[in-house]
Chains A and B, each alone.
Chain A
Amino acid sequence: MEETNMGRRGYAYPSVVMMVFIVFFCGPAWSLEKGDIRYTA
């Protein structure tokens, strides 16, 4: 059976998609916004 790189390519592609997802959709750690209930610190 002929060996190919398909498996490796198939593995690499989702990891790039995951990185893009984390950067653009998980967003920065801060979230302070109008209407929030907070405590002074």
Chain B
Amino acid sequence: MAFINHKYRTPFIPAGTKVVIKDVEQGDYDPLKPNSGSEPSVTFMIAEDSAVDYGEKHTLQFHKKYQRGTKFLDVAERTFGTKNFEQLTEGFSDAEKWAIRKGVLVSGMSKEAVVVSYGYPPSHRTPSLSADTWNYWASRMGRFLVTFDSSGKAVLNGHTVHSQFVYAKQD
């Protein structure tokens, strides 16, 4: 898995899932020498008392070229936080909480809820979270946009290719 967090055919781990950090590798990649070394990564395991896929081990790899202006350890810290699901979603609507558990977006979601559900958009295409359009990737080639109205709420943007798994209706 990559920190850019592809949305299609990759393991889905909901926000607020309890994990154990197994390794933090800072890598020896030199941006001036492409393919010069390993990228930083975090290996973790789903905790025993977690609701999903107990015992599964995953490695998240940081790609510096997709994370311009960010540092690996800062991204790692914000990806593996200290707040559980209830603390992460405090103040969110029921629809937002439902969407976060499913790892999807719903119309009307706040930017904060989109970040919790989907993670931060890769900074090389979305350098500022104050923008009205955020770029995500469903796969390596499958970029899609999440747009926000003037009040900062997510709106369906008419994107059809990925809408079947990007946006969902509540059960």
Could you list which residues of chain A lie within 8 angstroms of chain B, going by C-beta atoms? 28-41
Contacts of A31 in B (CB 8 A): 77
Contacts of B16 in A (CB 8 A): 39-41
Contacts of A36 in B (CB 8 A): 20-21, 80
Q: Return A24 CB to nearest CB of chain B, in Å.
A: 18
Considering the chains assembled together, what is the distance between the CA atoms of A30 and B23 in angstroms? 15
Q: How many A-B residue pairs have CB under 8 A?
A: 67
Q: Return B102 CB to nearest CB of chain A, in Å.
A: 14
Tell me what chain A mostly uses at the interface: helix, strand, loop, or mixed: loop
Can you list, as one digit per residue, whether each of B55-87 has a CB less than 8 Å from chain A (1) or not (0)? 000000000000000000110111111111100
Q: Return A6 CB to nearest CB of chain B, in Å.
A: 44
B22 within 8 A of A: yes
Instruction: State whether B20 touches A41 (Cβ < 8 A).
Output: no
Considering the chains assembled together, what is the distance between the CA atoms of A31 and B23 in angstroms? 13
Q: Return A35 CB to nearest CB of chain B, in Å.
A: 6
Instruction: State whether B24 touches A38 (Cβ < 8 A).
Output: no
